[in-house]
Chain A
Amino acid sequence: MAERQVLVYTRFNRLWHWSQVASIFALLFTGAAIMGLHDLIPYGLAVTVHSLVAIALLVLWAFATFWLFTTGAWKQFLPSQVGLLQVAKFYAWGVFHGETHPYRKILRRRHNPLQALAYLALKIMLFPAIWITGLIYLGFTFWEHLDPSGTAIWAVANLHILSAFAIATFVVAHVYLLTIGHGFRKHVQPMVTGFECVDLTPEQEAYLQEEEPDRLRERCK
């Protein structure tokens, strides 16, 4: 087994990630303005930006979903119980006692089990919740006549807002966890360069050396 710098985040992967970062921040910022949490942007502009960015993000998600399934990258997010408890225990206990992170990245699984589970939940619960409620909200004018009491639009708006806060909560935890271990910069770097330290079996290393030399860089320090 050797630790090598391997390209694990492809260009599309990185573009996808950072586009989501930008759109989610834009949506949280404009959404908060629409909700009345701040006045830093004119209301009409906030509504416009919110709607347009949301539609752009939906298009990106459509592409990403397509990409995930055609490339097989979706398997990265499959939940696994193996090591899950250890990782959870590490964050709750070990990290305060100088233990090292129990997970070693391997080529097939770039996320630790807890991470994978969190991202899966984000993808199959929070994201659908936000865009389904968002689209229903956006299309209010088409079903308004079915909701004379206004209860449905109230419920949709509240679910939309609640999902948005759940995503904001994810962002807080996500960013915080980057500070654990090598530190924030070191953790963000792979999502910029695409390269990350991965435990390679000799076979994997030999294969990459032979077939995909561009994906390999020097040994990890």
Chain B
Amino acid sequence: MRNNTLSLAVVLAVAGLVGTARAETATEPASLAPEVPGQGSTADHSKFEVLKGPFASGPEVTKACLSCHTEASTQVMHTLHYKWDYTHPETGQKLGKSSVLNSFCGNVASNEARCTSCHAGYGWTDVRQPAPTDPTAVDCLACHDTSGQYTKLDNAAGHPPVGEVPKGAKTITGADAWPVDLVKAAQSVGDPSRQNCGNCHFYGGGGDNVKHGDLSSALISPALSTDVHMSADGANMTCTACHVSESHKVAGSRYNVEARDIPDSHLLGQRRDVATCESCHSTKPHDLTPVGLKLNDHTDRVACQTCHIPSFARGGVATKTKWDWSTAGKLKDGKPYHEDGFTQSDGKHLHTYLSTKGDFEWGENVVPHYAWFNGQVEYTTADQTFDPSKPVEVNRIAGSASDPGARIWPFKAMDGRQAFDTELNTLMHTQVYGPTTVSAFWTNFDWAKSIEAAATYVGQPYSGKFDFVDTKMYWPITHMVAPASDAVDCKSCHTPGGRMASITGIYIPGTGLPLGGKLGLVMLALAIVGVLGHGVIRMVSGKGNEDHHG
């Protein structure tokens, strides 16, 4: 009662304050000040002289940006987006796009102008050297253009199409290139939108959703069922809402993942430079109902993503699940050809064979592979040897049930077949891109030349003998969070041969009758056989139901 009186008083007081505020708004003289423009920024970039152009190239725009944002380029140059170089703090491995091998396009080195088209800079044509250090080589517009018409060519080391666009030129998203209006782009700058990040991250591996499986053009304006956070019907969040940045360093890593985040529950929603679910939702996100309490019990061993991303490649864009490079190079009448054996749910036909790339398999709404993961990822870099009789894990994810920092995570398990040195048992670099070379595979369709050229280029030891080996690669799934109603059902895991079939080292009820259950069933069966036998003998003897007191 006392509490009720108190809360009533609070409600009345708040109502009073709101009432006062409204009254003030009403008496404010109208039309003295113009409407607040734009996104609430204190600067309207279209009013800056320095941005009026004309600009002949991307670096010219960057130069203009730097006239005010004096430290921006220096900041960017220290980030992974620019360096493509990462030394793992735990394993000491030298990783980053400039040096790792993957089961998609293989490697950047020797394929630069094509691969560095998605570099957050301009003109990195040799990744054996660090990215350009000229401050104007940073690409501000890739992330900050909001005009929507800025783009980068797919083979110009990060430069946008400007002026006369060559026939057949493509952008990094695979669209026919158009001449970019740099003035318009420069004057439009703002916070990165989903489109900005997506232009590169949705098209990794050479096409829409090819690489990640949980990052596709479906996230530009996703349905609620595709992504609760990014959908306009949901929270309508941008990538940077979770991937917060500090001095242009963006939170989130696929080499050193925050696989188990235990935030201070008093600081939820406050700025923390980690892109984890827990930083907003806590480790006890479910309602305090019997089911919710049980689900909260799961969060120390099961990643949020495991239940809340029931499948990846949702929203109508398929992902590549297998890439066999070994079959590439077949020609018809001396010409490269393609087969379109996969039909996406929107009716679009996707390549299942390309003379340039080999055989592919695709998947939509793919159920993830699950594994213990403590966030540490080790790569099979080009200097590591392996046993080629087994599939080679291009990256190895660490963690086990006995590791308190590990949780069960969902992954896209990518199957590959890649070139390796049959004498040295190492994965080989390949040169595929190089329209004017005599060695690039896409031009000459000769693996021996391609591998030789790439090995020489990066200085990798090479016996001269190569073949192809089956590979596996694991991509943590963390995007495309579904509405709670679509979360993975208990039974999907708590069942024999269910989603947790590959998980060991932990007792999961319902995944098979445990020892106690087997012994118990035997005991129960014996009891039933016993009473049935007793009953049968009673019936046969015909004396079992004599009148007596039992």
The chain A residues found within 8 Å of chain B, CB to CB, are: 34-37, 39, 42-44, 47-48, 51-52, 91, 95-101, 103-105, 112, 140-141, 144-145, 148-150, 153-154, 157-162, 164-166, 168-169, 172-173, 176-177, 179-183, 187, 197
493-550 of chain B: CB within 8 A of chain A: 494-496, 505-507, 509-517, 519-521, 523-524, 527-528, 530-531, 534-535, 537-538, 541, 543-550
Q: Which residues of B contact A (CB under 8 A)?
A: 290-291, 294, 296-297, 300, 401-402, 404, 489-491, 494-496, 505-507, 509-517, 519-521, 523-524, 527-528, 530-531, 534-535, 537-538, 541, 543-550
Are B512 and A36 neighbours in the complex by a CB distance under 8 Å? yes
How far apart are the CA atoms of A100 and B544 in the complex, in Å? 10
Residue of chain B at shortest CB distance from A145: B404
**Residue of A140, A149, A158 with highest tally of chain B CB at under 10 A:** A158
B527–A173 touching, CB < 8 Å? yes
A contact residues around B495 at 8 Å (CB): 36
Give Cα distance in the complex from A104 to B548, angstroms: 9
Q: For the complex, what is the distance from the CA of A161 to the CA of B516, rounded to whole Å? A: 6
B507→A154 contact, CB < 8 A = yes
Apart from A36-B496, A96-B544, 10 more pairs, CB < 8 Å: A34-B494, A35-B514, A43-B494, A44-B291, A44-B490, A150-B505, A150-B507, A158-B516, A180-B550, A183-B545
| Contact indicator B548/A150 (Cβ below 8 Å) | no
A35 to chain B minimum Cβ distance, whole angstroms, is: 6
Cα distance A160–B509 when bound, in Å?
A: 12
A39 and B494 CA atoms in complex are apart in Å by 11
Q: Cβ of B510: which chain A residues have Cβ within 8 Å of it? A: 34-36, 43
Contacts of B489 in A (CB 8 A): 42-44
- Bound together, the chains give a CA A99 to CA B549 distance in angstroms of 11
Q: Contact between A161 and B550 (Cβ–Cβ < 8 Å)?
A: no
Known: A52-B290, A181-B550. A96 touches B543 (CB 8 A): yes
Query: Nearest A residue to B300 by beta-carbon distance?
Result: A144
- State the main secondary structure of chain A at its contact with B: helix
Asked if residues B402 and A159 are in contact (CB atoms below 8 Å), the reply is no
List 6 contacting pairs A-B, 8 Å CB cutoff, sorted by A: A36-B494, A91-B534, A96-B544, A165-B520, A169-B527, A181-B550
Contact B549 A100 (CB under 8 A): yes
Please, which residues of chain B bring their CB within 8 A of the CB of A35? Answer: 509-510, 513-514, 517
In the assembled complex, the Cα of A168 lies from the Cα of B294 at a distance in Å of 26
With a cutoff of 8 Å between Cβ atoms, the chain B residues found around residue A37 in the complex are 513, 517
Q: How far is the CB of A75 from chain B (nearest CB, A)?
A: 21
B-side contacts of A103, CB under 8 Å: 549-550
CB pair B535–A179 under 8 Å, yes or no, is: yes
Complex: chain A residue closest to B510, CB-CB: A36
Contact status B490-A47, CB under 8 Å: yes
Query: A42 with B490: in contact, given A48-B291, A52-B290, A162-B520 (CB under 8 Å)?
Result: yes
With known contacts A100-B548, A101-B550, A180–B404 Cβ distance under 8 A: no
Complex Cα gap A116–B164 (Å): 99
Q: What residues of chain A lie closer than 8 Å to B294, measured between beta carbons?
A: 44, 47-48, 51
**Given A96-B541, A161-B516, also A181-B548 (CB < 8 A):** yes
Residues of B within 8 A of A95 (CB): 538, 543-544
Assess whether B550 is in contact with A43, with CB atoms less than 8 Å apart: no
User: What residues of chain A lie closer than 8 Å to B490, measured between beta carbons?
Assistant: 42-44, 47
In whole Å, how far is A52's beta carbon from the nearest beta carbon of chain B? 6
Are A42 and B491 within 8 A (Cβ)? yes
